[in-house]
Amino acid sequence: MKTNEFRNWMEALNLLSSGQRDTLREQLHGREVGDEGVKLIEQSLTVEPACPHCAGTKLYRWGMSCDLQRYRCRSCQRTFNALTHTPLARLRCKDKWLNYEQKMVQGLSIRRAATDCGIARNTSFKWRHRFLRAPLTQQPVQMSGIVEADETFFLESFKGQRHLSRLARKRGGKAEKRGLSAEQIAVLVVRDRHGDTADFVLPGVSAEQIEPVLKPLLNKDVMLCTDGAAAYKVIARHAGVAHRPINVAAGQRVIGGIYHIQNVNAYDSRLKQWIVKFHGVATRYLASYLGWHRMLDPLGKHVTPVACFIAAIGKERRFQQLIAT
């Protein structure tokens, strides 16, 4: 824009209504957020840069593409950018990503987030599940110390599907039968006293169904605390770990002052309260929402769109190294 045109444009700002000024402010803020998002993406390659195709470290710049620096590897001769082989690869409208993450932090619905960010509803749906793909897979490999395990249940949901085997429920709905039934989906939550948390959607709560996911998490020196379900006794014996069952049904809460399952039960309570805002989560996407909450819970009140965006890229370790230096 030429100087005279810019001066005329600045003078015209005085003629804007309050609503038009708010719109202009939102557009300018969105541009700043977009620039910050691109900087975060580029920074993911500044620590230990390597080719995502062959892990080669001899790289050189190869032009720009979609506002991102492109590189070429001297070893395999293939090109890439900071988003190659990440969940966000080939997504468009980078200038709106951080704003969309803000809507996810607020827990807005897909439609509401689409409206606020100025994108299509289908785009909002695609972005949500792309942004959750990395947190879904980020779980601890093993736990140590006192480990608590307990199952919680969510009502089976076919939300978003057109052909149902039963009548549709409105806004989450209620189960037809009281207590546990085939309508309830079991989720095993495992949590140690360091705050490491793992969760798994299970077909049931028998020892055969729980053991394949719980046993690999248990070091030989852990103390497993559970309720009095017989399945955990079998799993602890097979894993060769100490087991402290808490007879919750009889009113028992704590053994020896330190052995309890209140930590994992508190996490289950926070999870249930958080997921209520979505008025029912489709069972086929439940694992993604569990990963979403697992990412948000440690951050507490300090959760920010930037932190969630870094998790969505799936390169937290590189960002941690960057911050440390």
CA distance 323 to 320: 5
What 3-state DSSP class applies to 130? helix
Does residue 143 register a pLDDT over 90? yes
- Give residue 319's identity as a one-letter amino acid code: F
How far CA 201 is from CA of 56, 60, 250, 283, 312, in Å, comes to: 38, 44, 28, 9, 21
The distance from CA 16 to its chain's CA centroid, rounded to whole angstroms, is: 41
pLDDT one-digit tens code per residue, 105-115: 988 989 999 99
Q: How confident is the model at residue 289 (pLDDT cuts 50, 70, 90)?
A: very high
The average confidence (pLDDT) of the chain is 84
CB 247 within 8 A of CB 228: yes
What is d(CA 206, CA 209) in angstroms, rounded to the nearest whole number? Answer: 5
Count of C-beta atoms within a 10 Å radius of residue 74:
11
Other Cβ atoms within 10 Å of 283 Cβ, number: 16
d(CA 78, CA 14): 52
Which helix H or strand E contains 80, and what residues bound it? strand 79-80
Sign of CA dihedral 282, 312, 83, 40: positive
Domains of the chain: 141-161+180-300 (3.30.420)
| pLDDT of residue 324 exceeding 70 | no
CA atoms of 296 and 270, how far apart (whole Å): 11
- What is the reported pLDDT for 113? 93
Q: Tens digit of pLDDT for each residue in 147-192? A: 999 999 998 888 888 887 777 777 666 766 666 677 889 999 999 9
- SS3 readout for 37-63: HHHHHHHCCCCCCCCCCCCCCCEEEEE
- Here the tokens at position 291 are 């990963």
Looking at the predicted structure, is the pLDDT value of residue 31 above 50?
Answer: no
For range 218-233, the mean pLDDT:
94
Mean of the pLDDT values across residues 208-219?
95
Phi, psi of 194, rounded to the nearest 5 degrees:
-85, -10
Residue 154 φ/ψ, nearest 5 degrees: -125, 145
For residue 36, name the pLDDT band (cuts at 50, 70, 90): low
